[in-house]
Amino acid sequence: MNHHFFRADALSRRAVPMGAIAALHFLVAYLLLTALVQPAGPPAPPVLTGRFLPEQANPPPQPPPDIRIPERHGPIEAPPVDDAVSSPPDPTTQALPAESAVDADGVRADAAPLPIRQVGSNVLPNSADYYPPTLIREHVQGATSLRVCVDAQGVRQGEAVIEQTAGNELLDRAALQMARHGRYARAMQGDRPVGNCYRFRITFRIPG
């Protein structure tokens, strides 16, 4: 009975220092683990360095360019142009002064342009043949002014242009129809054929 009592007492006295040693090992291991798993602190901010640049002097302002405007010696005037005159045989068709067509080839550097002269005559049909019968019965009269342009061969170019109406559409149409069937003179500037324009006043009047 005493033998077992002494044995249990010896075991209890050994267990106390062994437990203390185990607790000490556990504490050391815990401290090591907590030291290893500590989060890393924020990175140190970068070190900024700078330097001062020397100031650059502004260049002196440049003077404005010297712009000279050439002087004009008197006004520039267009050279005079002579007009051609048409002479139709119909007494009721009056030819007005014609426009002159001046080409650059006919202008000399040392002289005024050569005058344009008419070669031949302008021939228009008789206005009585184109007078609308209804207007004759109604005693409607009037006159239409036209402009007709021709090429260097005297061929009409396009339709005639009404410059002044007779005040009646039928009379204006009759005047245009007459212009379509007319024959026109050629024009010369020096020795060279040129185009030209002629003006006509076509009158529709009831004979009395």
Q: What are the tens digits of pLDDT across the range 117-159?
A: 999 999 999 999 999 999 999 999 999 999 999 999 999 999 9
- State yes or no: pLDDT of 114 exceeds 80: yes
| Residue 113 and residue 107 in contact, taking contact as beta carbons nearer than 8 Å | yes
CB burial of 80-98 (b: ≥16 within 10 Å; e: otherwise) equals eebbbebebebebbbbbeb
Q: What are the tens digits of pLDDT across the range 47-93?
A: 555 565 555 556 566 665 554 544 444 443 433 333 433 334 454 55
Domain edges within the chain: 93-104+113-204
Burial of 41 (0-12, 13-18, 19+ CB in 10 A): exposed
Q: What is the pTM of this model?
A: 0.49
pLDDT reported for residue 7: 55
- Does domain 93-104+113-204 fall under CATH 3.40.50? My reply is no
CA distances to 20, 124, 145, 166, 171 from 176, in Å: 138, 11, 10, 12, 9
d(CA 99, CA 83): 6
